Structure 1
Amino acid sequence: MYLYHFGLQELPFTLTPNTNFFLGLSPHNEALAVLMTALKTGEGFIKVVGEVGTGKTLLCRKLLNEIPEHFVTAYIPNPYLNPNELRRAVAVELGVKQAQRMSVQLLTQRIQDKLLELHQKGHSVVLILDEAQALPEESLEALRLFTNLETETRKLLQVVLFAQPELDERLGQSEFRQLRQRITFSYQLRAMNEEEVQHYIQHRMKVAGYKGAELFSKAVIKKITKVSNGIPRLVNILCHKMLMLAYGQGQYQMTKKHLQAAIEDTEGVSYKPLSLTYLAVVMIVLTSLVSVIYWSGVSL
């Protein structure tokens, strides 16, 4: 593709959550700090909410990679599971043998036994769910019941939820008030500002092996920030398409024309060019209004 053209070793703007490209911007550093602090307290639920494309899955992978060694993690990337499936998924992650064949009652007992065993060995157990807004209602209640497993001094299981804002809407309902009260730490993951977008683009290009002059001017980055609303996923898509266009034209500097073409080919951006027909209609309306105001003034 364009790797050789720009002297890259790998694609800098892929959508896969590669932690090698993780950049410690303020929102992600703050979220990690909240997560680590909350996990050390050993209490209840921890929730990280962010819009689509703000980097929740990448943050989740970063947490899994950097969590202290005494933690045992159970990671469920797709929690669209009924309560029985959720219990079995947790049991499998914790290493409970023959989890798929047990009755629900026996499975629950084995999970508790496993948690007690890990606790006695000095481990803390963390259940991490990505895309938690997809949890069915019954499974949310089952999740709450999991945290009832405890000793006299601490919970046997902590739960970290990474989710879209829809989860907050669901938790706002009265039937989930018990679960909502158990969320002891929460963080709202925000989008990037213009300065962060610039740093983000430069960082990913550098990690991918780029060593030349800046390809993206401040003016182009300003517009990228505006049309993407600072959402990392949209920034990645736009930058990837711009690099492809520049490569196809044999150019090395990203221009506003490259960005405009990328915008027109991308769903979800907040800006679309006005068509000539639309502009013509607007001009006709404005001209008519000016004429009306002018002749009204004359008649007066």
Structure 2
Amino acid sequence: MYLEHFALSEMPFTITPNTGFFFEYGDYRAAHNMLLLALRSGEGFLKVVAEVGMGKTLLCRALLNDLGDDYVTAYIPNPQLTAPGLRMALADELGLEFSRNIGQHRLLKLINEYLVEQHAAGKRVVLVIDEAQALPDEGLEALRLLTNLETESSKLLQVVLFGQPELDERISHPSLRQLKQRITFSHRLKPLDYPSLVAYLRYRLHVAGYRGTELFTPGAMKRLYRSSRGIPRVINILSHKALMVAFGKGDEKVRSGYMKAAIQDSTDVLSSTFSRSPILAYWLASLLTFSAVVIGVVIWSRLS
């Protein structure tokens, strides 16, 4: 496509969560370091929440990659599971062999024995769950009970939950208050600010092999920031399309007009991404309030 034109070795703005492109800056660095420190400290329950497209899965995979040989990890990416299904998924991830018709009591005992063995060998076992907002209530409660497995001095299983804001709403329900009390570290990812977006573009281009001068013009980057609002997935989609436009024009720079064309071609992406945005909701509410005030003033002036 445009790789040769821009002297790139690979596509810089794919939406696949490739840890080679993990940009550990500001808020993401804080979240990453917090998770590593908390796991090393033996904390039982950790949580990271972010809106759609914020790079939770990429952070999740970066964390798994950075846990050393002292850790045994289990990763569940799609947790729409019942409590028995969650225990079986955990056992599968840990490499345990068991009959599919095994009783739940026996399965739990098998998991516990494995955790004790790993603890005796100096290993920490970490369960990482992505899209955790999809877990049913019984699955969340099963997680809490799994973290009851402990020695006199430490937890045998540590759990990290990655999820959308609905996860916070779920665990705030009175029926899950015991789970909420177990969460000792929590972080909410924020969108990129403008300087971070500029650094993000440069970083991904550098990883992809680009060694030239600034590829995106200041006007293109400012337009990208306004439209993406700092959401990494949207930044990637718009940047990729803008590169395609520049390539089609035979230009060696991504200019503001090319970014505008990319944005106009992505109205569905933008509307679906920001339909649930609290910032957008606040802006719309403010606009409606302002409109109501203006209409009221006009009506009052006519009546008077």
Q: TM-score, normalised to structure 2's length?
A: 0.87
Residues paired across the two proteins, number:
275
**Partner residue, 1:277:** none
CA apart distance, 1:219: 2.2
**Partner residue, 2:221:** 221
**Is the CA contact 2:217–2:256 (under 8 Å) kept in the aligned structure 1?**
no
Is there any run of 5+ residues in structure 1 with no aligned partner, and where?
A: 272-292
**2:165 partner amino acid:** P
Is there any run of 5+ residues in structure 2 with no aligned partner, and where?
A: 274-297
CA apart distance, 1:256: 1.7
**Partner residue, 1:280:** none
**Partner residue, 1:269:** 270
Q: Deviations over 1:213-239 (max 9, x none)?
A: 211112221221111010000000000
Q: Which has the larger radius of gyration?
A: 1
Please state if 1:238 is matched with 2:238: yes
Q: 2:162 aligns to what SS in structure 1?
A: strand
Matches of 1:102 and 1:228 in 2, distance apart? 49
Bigger mean CA deviation after superposition, 222-231 or 233-242: 222-231
Alignment of 1:2-81 (within 5 A): 2-81=2-81
Q: Deviations over 1:244-297 (max 9, x none)?
A: 1111121111122211111112134379xxxxxxxxxxxxxxxxxxxxx9xx9x
CA apart distance, 1:161: 0.4
**Partner residue, 1:124:** 124
**1:61 partner amino acid:** R
Bigger mean CA deviation after superposition, 163-172 or 92-101: 92-101
**Partner residue, 2:289:** none
Matches of 2:162 and 2:251 in 1, distance apart? 40
**1:133 partner amino acid:** Q
CA apart distance, 1:26: 0.6
**1:195 partner amino acid:** P
After the TM superposition, which segments of 4 or more aligned residues of structure 1 sit over 4 Å from their partners?
Answer: none
Matches of 2:160 and 2:219 in 1, distance apart? 39
Q: Deviations over 1:144-201 (max 9, x none)?
A: 1101111111111010001111100111111111000000000111110000000000
CA apart distance, 1:36: 1.0
Matches of 1:44 and 1:209 in 2, distance apart? 40
Matches of 2:190 and 2:219 in 1, distance apart? 23
**Partner residue, 1:275:** none
Q: Deviations over 1:22-53 (max 9, x none)?
A: 11111111001110111122122100111111
Matches of 2:225 and 2:218 in 1, distance apart? 10
CA apart distance, 1:99: 5.1
Matches of 2:101 and 2:20 in 1, distance apart? 39
**1:141 partner amino acid:** E
**1:178 partner amino acid:** Q
Q: Deviations over 1:69-89 (max 9, x none)?
A: 211111111111111111001
Matches of 1:229 and 1:197 in 2, distance apart? 10
Q: 1:269 aligns to what SS in structure 2?
A: helix
Q: Deviations over 1:97-132 (max 9, x none)?
A: 125342211111100111111111111111000111
Matches of 1:251 and 1:216 in 2, distance apart? 11
Please state if 1:183 is matched with 2:183: yes
Matches of 1:96 and 1:2 in 2, distance apart? 46
For the aligned residues, what is the CA RMSD? 1.9
**Partner residue, 1:195:** 195
After superposition, the Cα gap between the structure-2 partners of 1:29 and 1:99, relative to the gap in structure 1 and judged at 3 Å, is farther
Alignment of 1:147-186 (within 5 A): 147-186=147-186
**Is the CA contact 1:119–1:156 (under 8 Å) kept in the aligned structure 2?**
yes
Q: TM-score, normalised to structure 1's length?
A: 0.88
**Partner residue, 1:133:** 133
**Is the CA contact 2:70–2:124 (under 8 Å) kept in the aligned structure 1?**
yes
Please state if 1:85 is matched with 2:80: no
Q: 1:32 aligns to what SS in structure 2?
A: helix
